[in-house]
């Protein structure tokens, strides 16, 4: 009697319960694990559509940086002129960005395209992982920073050394010292010796023009750069040897080396004020050899890029790190009491959480280091730079390399 009353109260008979359970079990058997998710499986609702723009040597590696939950839907490269299908293979990045199923974009083109594609992708509502260097010249970087803020997108540079530094106690302590404002006189000098591929990525002077391969859209490859006659050395990895597209081995490798130490020494929001290089006269089109570049900040801290491939090695100042010994006892206590700096999440985590923004500023400042070094190399003289106005002071010829013209119709 009590059992019957209970059944009426719940409205669930044993037969109905067993039937419902069987139906649910059948559903779990019919619906694949990759649809409902679970350990080792990501449901479609959490899978992002990805595009790779620039499918050369760094393409697959850059795309992999987007994260494990990204499905590659599109490949885009100017070398696909003879097989573009406007479904999965493109030559024009603008057609890729029109697609609503693309959430994230990996950019691995030559650097003269980085800024324009990054800005267009963020404007189209995509998050961006861009290869280094971020830009080809300084003014492009500021345009990328403005776009990141305007469109509220995630932008990350494809160089990851700063993440290691941000977890290293020695680097964290240096970062705190530099950011505290307690260091009244900074004598720190960080010297990078070698590893900048100067000779390897030097260009050809006056190369003999050759026919454009049938599979290559050479006009689109040049894009905002001048439309020069085709030569194989201007295309592929050796594009790094020409000012039109990059900035030699310094621009290729420099951001790997200096982006992490820029964080360590608290320079993510500023730039050097005085830059001097040791180099022979530079060619107008082809990147060439150089010895060293010294970049000094307003507080006295100095970065040095010593190629070890030309001339006399840098010997002006010895390498000198900063430490608590540079501070008084009370200031040391203040430094040790400071909280650790926040560690940036991965690109994948940032896309999911939508925080933090502002990565473009740090990427812009580290690429500015490379551009200022190359300006000193190209002009053959010491230059002075205003890190707030982002202009070279008192040298109009050098300043023209800060904001360079683009071939129509491209512009920032």
Rg, C-alpha atoms of the chain: 27
Q: CA 121, CA 350: separation in Å to the nearest integer?
A: 17
CB 76 within 8 A of CB 96: yes
Distance CA 6, CA 136 (A): 77
pLDDT digit string, tens, across residues 250-278: 999 999 999 999 999 999 999 999 999 99
On the question of pLDDT at 31 being above 90, the answer is: no
| Dist. CA 236–CA 158, nearest whole Å | 19
Q: Is the pLDDT of residue 5 over 90?
A: no
Look at residue 10 and tell me whether its pLDDT is greater than 60: no
* CA-based end-to-end distance of the chain: 82
Q: Tell me the mean pLDDT in the region 117-127.
A: 98
Go through 279-303 and write b for each residue having 16 or more CB atoms within 10 A of its CB, e for each that does not: beebbebbbbbbbbbbbbbebebbb
Q: The domain at 44-160 falls in which architecture? A: 3-Layer(aba) Sandwich (3.40)
Going by pLDDT thresholds of 50, 70 and 90, the confidence category of residue 43 is low
Q: What is the overall mean pLDDT for the chain?
A: 91
Any idea where the domains of the chain sit in the sequence?
Answer: 2-30, 44-160, 162-399
Question: How are beta strands 70-76 and 48-53 bridged, if at all?
Answer: parallel
User: What is the rounded average pLDDT of the residues 98-126?
Assistant: 98
pLDDT of 186 > 90? The answer is: yes
Which pLDDT does position 187 carry in this prediction?
95
225: left (phi over 0), alpha (psi -120 to 50) or beta: beta
Alpha carbon distance 252, 246 (integer Å): 8
**Distance (Å, whole) CA 290 – CA 107:** 29
Paired tokens of 143: 């345009």
Contact 137, 404 (CB under 8 A): yes
């Amino acid at each position: 009697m009590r059992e019957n009353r209970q059944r009426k109260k719940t409205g669930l008979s044993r037969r109905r319960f067993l039937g419902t359970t069987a139906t649910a079990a059948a559903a779990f058997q019919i619906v694949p694990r990759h649809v409902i998710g679970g350990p080792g499986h990501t449901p479609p609702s959490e899978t992002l559509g990805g595009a790779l723009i620039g499918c050369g040597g760094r393409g697959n590696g850059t795309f992999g940086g987007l994260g494990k939950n990204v499905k590659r839907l599109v490949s885009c490269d100017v070398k696909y002129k003879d097989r573009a299908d406007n479904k999965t293979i493109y030559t024009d990045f603008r057609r890729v960005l029109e697609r609503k199923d693309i959430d994230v974009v990996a950019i691995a083109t030559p650097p003269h395209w980085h800024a324009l594609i990054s800005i267009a992708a963020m404007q189209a509502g995509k998050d961006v992982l861009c290869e280094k260097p971020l830009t080809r010249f300084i003014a492009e970087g500021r345009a990328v920073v403005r776009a990141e803020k305007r469109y509220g997108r995630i932008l990350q540079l494809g160089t990851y050394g700063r993440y290691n530094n941000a977890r290293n106690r020695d680097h964290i302590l240096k970062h705190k010292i530099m950011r505290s404002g307690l260091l009244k006189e900074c004598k720190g000098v960080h010297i990078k010796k070698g590893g900048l591929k100067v000779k390897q990525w030097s260009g050809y002077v006056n190369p003999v023009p050759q026919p454009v391969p049938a599979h290559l859209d050479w006009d689109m490859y040049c894009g905002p750069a001048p439309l020069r006659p085709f030569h194989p050395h201007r295309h592929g990895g050796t594009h790094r040897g020409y000012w039109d597209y990059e900035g030699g081995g310094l621009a290729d490798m420099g951001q790997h080396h200096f982006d992490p130490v820029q964080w360590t020494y608290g320079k993510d929001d500023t730039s050097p004020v005085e830059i001097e290089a040791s180099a022979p006269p530079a060619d107008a089109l082809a990147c060439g050899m150089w010895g060293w570049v010294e970049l000094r900040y307003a507080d006295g801290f100095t970065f040095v890029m010593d190629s070890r491939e030309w001339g006399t090695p840098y010997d002006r100042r010895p390498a000198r790190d900063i430490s608590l010994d540079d501070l008084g006892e009370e200031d040391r206590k203040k430094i040790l009491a400071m909280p650790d700096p926040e560690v940036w999440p991965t690109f994948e985590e940032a896309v999911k959480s939508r925080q933090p923004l502002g990565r473009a500023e740090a990427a812009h400042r580290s690429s500015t280091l490379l551009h200022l070094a190359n300006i000193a190399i190209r002009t053959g003289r010491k230059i002075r730079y205003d890190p707030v106005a982002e202009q070279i002071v008192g040298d109009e010829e050098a300043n023209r390399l800060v904001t360079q013209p683009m071939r129509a119709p491209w512009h920032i």
